[in-house]
């Protein structure tokens, strides 16, 4: 933590970074969106959530697909980011249930490469894949494509 006399507290720095990220997205024609992340790995939810907030988005998190379905019914997000393999309800099964009621674009998080997922029922329903480990750039690109697909 920086000395209090510096006049530049970490909170201010974070707010400034968010404003810059929002400004950058708006300049590129992509508006900030409400994103629902569903992943059973708390670390992935936290890291991805922090990145999305830095980029100016609003984040809601679910620990599994069943919770994601409930959250979507309460207040539908603009974009879903779902883990492929989760307990209780997989990302694709959650997407099927959500899409019965809402036409929300979705990205799938997976440690399995895209080629290995070809032919898996439902994979063609997502707007993109985020392969683990993902990068800031891959997240930005995938969100831009998914939001632009609306």
Pairing assessment for the beta strands 58-62 and 79-83 based on DSSP bridges: unpaired
Give the per-residue pLDDT at 41.
Answer: 96
Confidence of residue 11 (pLDDT cuts 50, 70, 90): very low
Which tokens sit at 44?
Answer: 């992935």
Q: What is the mean pLDDT of residues 51-71?
A: 96
Query: Is residue 100 assigned to a domain?
Result: yes
In DSSP notation, 40-86 reads: S-HHHHHHHHHHHHHTT-EEEEESSHHHHHHHHHHS--SEEEEESS-
Query: Residue 37's domain spans which residues?
Result: 7-148
Q: CB pairs under 8 A, 24+ apart, for 44-47?
A: 44/83, 44/109, 44/132
**Rounded distance between C-alpha atoms, residue 150 and residue 85, angstroms:** 25
- Please state the domain count of the chain: 1
CATH code of the domain in which 52 resides: 3.40.50.2300
pLDDT in tens, 133-148: 989 999 999 999 998 8
pTM: 0.76
Residue 8 has pLDDT above 90, yes or no: no
- Would residue 2 count as lying in a domain? no
What pLDDT digit, counting tens, does each position of 65-99 carry? 999 999 999 999 999 999 988 988 999 999 999 99
Cis ω for the linkage preceding 133 (within 30 of 0): yes
């Amino acid at each position: 933590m920086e000395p209090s006399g510096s006049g530049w507290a970490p909170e201010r720095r974070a707010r400034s970074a968010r404003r810059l990220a929002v400004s950058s997205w708006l300049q590129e024609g992509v508006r900030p969106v409400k994103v629902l992340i569903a992943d059973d790995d708390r670390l992935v939810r936290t890291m991805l959530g922090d990145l999305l907030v830095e980029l100016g988005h609003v984040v809601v998190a679910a620990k599994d697909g069943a919770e994601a379905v409930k959250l979507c019914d309460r207040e539908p997000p603009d974009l879903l980011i779902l883990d492929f393999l989760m307990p209780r309800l997989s990302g694709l099964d959650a997407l099927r249930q959500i899409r019965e009621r809402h036409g929300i674009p979705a990205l799938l998080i997976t440690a399995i490469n895209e080629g290995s997922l070809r032919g898996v029922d439902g994979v063609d329903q997502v707007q993109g894949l985020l392969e683990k480990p993902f990068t800031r750039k891959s997240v930005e690109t995938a969100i831009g494509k998914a939001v632009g697909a609306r």
